[in-house]
Amino acid sequence: MSYQTLIVEIEDGVALIRLNRPEALNALNSQLLGELAEALKTLDADPAVRCFVLTGSDKAFAAGADIKEMADKSFTDMFLQDFFGTEGDAILRTRKPIIAAVAGYALGGGCELAMMCDFILCAENAKFGQPEINLGVVAGIGGTQRLTRFVGKSKSMEMHLTGRFMDAAEAERSGLVSRVLPLADLVPEALTTARKIAAKSAIATMVAKDCVNRAYETTLREGVLYERRVFHALFATEDQKEGMAAFTEKRPAKFTDK
């Protein structure tokens, strides 16, 4: 698989996707998001891939949507193109887990992209922000909604209204990221975590992802009911039998995704 704005490596069931527009701090232009959507779709269907790690460079995960590409567009252009709607939907349709490994800037669309992943690990130098207000616009791929669900109204509102950045410690404290790591450990630890996920039943990990995401999209009652039904349904899988037999027999489970 060859892309101009991504570097993709697959090893041990994990696809490492690196955003690669260093000259623009990985600003998200149509080409990059188109390639990312395409790569995720292709690899989501590839049995050799069981988990994704999405990362950028040491300086920037992504510094936002490409301002130079957007600057001269009209409302009609944006509306008819449904700017980044298609690409955003494609990312969200990915069924296998995606870990965002964020170093440096994750701003605007970059912060939104990280939040569209299933969880975020970040480096000590990470900076998150929704600075669109400084450009006379607002977030456009879910930032006002997702950041508010992750960190609460007050902090999200302040960030969207002032454009200020949040550092790694604040991001961890407020629940935006699951862990902060030294920069040198970020991608290795993300890959180790992804390999752990890749070793589990792919059916169970996809179902777990689906259930947790439901917590953001439905009522508590409906979400709990959904979880109970899929929990029951997993008893139709061979992986459930294997996982529970392995526990009883005090041996590692060998999942077959059946």
Which residue number, 45 or 138, has a Cβ lying nearer to ligand HXC?
138
Please pick, from the candidates 6, 8, 19, 24, the single residue that binds ligand HXC as defined by CB under 6 A: 24
Under rule CB under 6 A, residue 142 binds ligand HXC: no
246 flagged as catalytic: no
243 flagged as catalytic: no
Binding pattern for the stretch 113-132 against ligand HXC, x by CB under 6 A and - elsewhere: ------------------xx
Neighbours of 76 (CB within 10 A): 8
Token pair belonging to 156:
């999200």
Catalytic residue (one of 87, 132, 172, 189): 132
Which residue number, 71 or 220, has a Cβ lying nearer to ligand HXC?
71
227 flagged as catalytic: no
Stated as kind and residue range, the H or E segment containing 20 is none
Alpha-helical (H) ranges within the chain are 30-44, 67-70, 75-81, 85-92, 109-116, 143-151, 153-162, 168-173, 183-198, 202-214, 220-233, 238-248
Token pair belonging to 170:
């604040």
Please pick, from the candidates 39, 40, 66, 159, the single residue that binds ligand HXC as defined by CB under 6 A: 66
85 flagged as catalytic: no
Binding pattern for the stretch 45-64 against ligand HXC, x by CB under 6 A and - elsewhere: ------------------xx
For residues 9 and 107, give the distance between their C-alpha atoms in angstroms, rounded to a whole number: 25
For residues 213 and 162, give the distance between their C-alpha atoms in angstroms, rounded to a whole number: 29
Q: For 17, list phi and psi in degrees, rounded to 5.
A: -110, 120
Contact positions toward ligand HXC, by CB under 6 A? 24-25, 27, 63-68, 83-84, 105, 107-109, 131-132, 135, 139-141
